[in-house]
Structure 1
Amino acid sequence: MSTRSANYAAAGTGNTGNGSVLASRSGFVPTPGSAPRPSRPGQLAPALLEQMAGGSDPGIVNEIAHSSASALLDRVRHSEDPAVVARVLTVVEREGVDDIAELWSSSPADTLPGVLWRLYMLRTWMRTHRDAIARLWRVGEPVATSASAIAGVDQAPTEDDIARLADSILSGAFTGDFAVAMERAAAFTDVVALGLRIEAKHLAGQAATLDAKSNAGKAARLMHTAANLFVTAKDFHHAANLWRRGKLE
């Protein structure tokens, strides 16, 4: 990945963590509206990306970000083809993070393109680190008693459960109640953040060990990642509220 790639949380083995579900600056341009049903949920426009890379008008970039996010969401919601939903889910794997991010990642969290970008990065992170995340969920879930019901996951999920949940949350945003999908994403992110915080405190409490300095460093990284995830969870909660009020654009 280039320096413009997404910078999302990496739970790793559970003893390390860096970044968050937040991302770098990057773009995505929808397939022109003249096509009744695209072969892909969207396609890149090289000329536009070159123009953006050269420093185009921020207002134009912002307008394209909003219009592309709205067009993609609307197109999937009005499609009866399951293949369209499948292509939307896997657009990051097929198109690449840098290209997809070219526009949406610079959008604020309280906008439709901004929150869709965070959802895509959440899915990518969950599927990439499913084993560590499943363990972190089991650590954090007892603290958040209603999280399993909200997120729609077992109290002791397997790594396959995490992968299915990742797809379910993202597809739910396109085919179901958008606000509910945001709340599921928020509940899930909160629990994983709690798991990271608990593990960080456990490591920090091992001050008498020979690896005290190393543990302190790992604990600090885990706490940093947890803090970023808590912010992302709040972004999802806020997006749900905006959507219900018809103000998420």
Structure 2
Amino acid sequence: MSTSYSLTDGFTNSGSGSVRSSHSGFVPTPGRGTRPSRPGQLAPALLDQMAGGSDPGMVNEIAHSSAASLLDRVRHSEDPSVVARVLTVVERDGVDDIAELWSSSPSDSLPGVLWRLYMLRTWMRTRRDDIARLWRVGEPVATSASAIAGVDQAPTEDDIARLADSILSGAFTGDFAVAMERAAAFTDVVALGLRVEAGKLNAAAAHREDAADAKTIRTKAAQMLHNGANLMATAKDFHHAATLWRRGKLE
């Protein structure tokens, strides 16, 4: 199956309210499972078991075990290529295997938050031009969010791509909670940018004489507000994950 995933376009708001794939298909809990043969690649047998409508408890265990073992493997590796493979697993192998494994996991679990991080990186890299513009709208003057996220006041498209890699790699090789806080600060500002732009569209619609044209503009504004709300919910998920990690309760 080939599925296109996007943080704001291809996700539905479900469960905890965080951004989720509309084609979600996975779940797990903490673990001591076997490590993947290489970072980010699942054994085909596991996927076959899961695809057949396996026991939810087993699927849940596989997801948590794989997330914990992947994180542990990267943290204890001295090979920089390991980190590089983990970062690029979506581009290299596609998102479907990761979705099969983690996308249905709750946002307050390790596999659930790693899924959101991977989707955030993919979205930031594929929509870097739009996101750079939204950041400039949401953060016209540098604030604490800029410092936390590590973003200049007026980031370029390349800055957004580098930030995407930095946040995800930081979760695997640095302070996991700090990476969560950076992701949260970033998504909060982009969500604000969407709300600001939606307000401008609604204002423009109010001055349109053509009713159909005004309706089209308002519909677009409503979608932007919906996307912004999803991003705000995801930012809260990242904040909560940071707190759980520091308490030793993110599994």
Same fold by TM-score greater than 0.5: yes
Closer, same or farther: CA 7–152 of 1 in aligned 2, 3 Å: closer
Residue equivalent to 1:217: 219
Alpha-carbon distance between aligned partners in 1 of 2:33 and 2:6, rounded to the nearest angstrom: 26
Contact 1:18/1:224 (<8 A) preserved? no
The answer to whether 1:239 aligns with 2:249 is no
The answer to whether 1:63 aligns with 2:61 is yes
Contact 1:153/1:165 (<8 A) preserved? yes
Closer, same or farther: CA 71–127 of 1 in aligned 2, 3 Å: same
Equivalent of 1:110, from 108, 111, 136? 108
Alpha-carbon distance between aligned partners in 2 of 1:242 and 1:18, rounded to the nearest angstrom: 25
Closer, same or farther: CA 158–128 of 1 in aligned 2, 3 Å: same
- 1:47 corresponds to which letter in structure 2? A
Residue equivalent to 1:203: 201
Aligned identity (percent) is 78
- Specify every segment of 5 or more residues in structure 1 that has no aligned partner in the other structure, as ranges: 11-16
1:50 Cα deviation after fit: 2.1
1:115 Cα deviation after fit: 0.0
Residue equivalent to 1:52: 50
Alpha-carbon distance between aligned partners in 1 of 2:66 and 2:184, rounded to the nearest angstrom: 24
1:43 Cα deviation after fit: 2.2
Alpha-carbon distance between aligned partners in 2 of 1:6 and 1:196, rounded to the nearest angstrom: 19
Alpha-carbon distance between aligned partners in 2 of 1:62 and 1:236, rounded to the nearest angstrom: 21
Alpha-carbon distance between aligned partners in 2 of 1:196 and 1:231, rounded to the nearest angstrom: 14
Residue equivalent to 1:14: none
- Kindly report which structure 2 residues correspond to 1:132-171, keeping only aligned pairs within 5 A, or say none: 132-142=130-140, 145-171=143-169
- 1:230 corresponds to which letter in structure 2? M
- Specify every segment of 5 or more residues in structure 2 that has no aligned partner in the other structure, as ranges: 14-18
- Kindly report which structure 2 residues correspond to 1:58-97, keeping only aligned pairs within 5 A, or say none: 58-97=56-95
Alpha-carbon distance between aligned partners in 2 of 1:171 and 1:230, rounded to the nearest angstrom: 22
1:112 Cα deviation after fit: 0.2
Aligned alpha-carbon RMSD (Å): 2.3
Closer, same or farther: CA 144–103 of 1 in aligned 2, 3 Å: farther
Residue equivalent to 1:191: 189
1:27 Cα deviation after fit: 5.4
Alpha-carbon distance between aligned partners in 2 of 1:98 and 1:143, rounded to the nearest angstrom: 39
- 1:132 corresponds to which letter in structure 2? D
Contact 2:180/2:239 (<8 A) preserved? yes
1:131 Cα deviation after fit: 0.3
Deviations, residues 137-160 of structure 1 (Å, cap 9, x unaligned): 000013782110000010100000
Alpha-carbon distance between aligned partners in 2 of 1:87 and 1:27, rounded to the nearest angstrom: 22
Equivalent of 1:173, from 171, 191, 215? 171
SS of the residue 1:205 aligns to? helix
TM-score after normalising by structure 2: 0.88
| Equivalent residues, number | 238
SS of the residue 1:22 aligns to? strand
SS of the residue 1:80 aligns to? coil
- 1:187 corresponds to which letter in structure 2? A
- 1:84 corresponds to which letter in structure 2? V
Equivalent of 2:99, from 101, 106, 110? 101
1:2 Cα deviation after fit: 4.1
TM-score after normalising by structure 1: 0.89
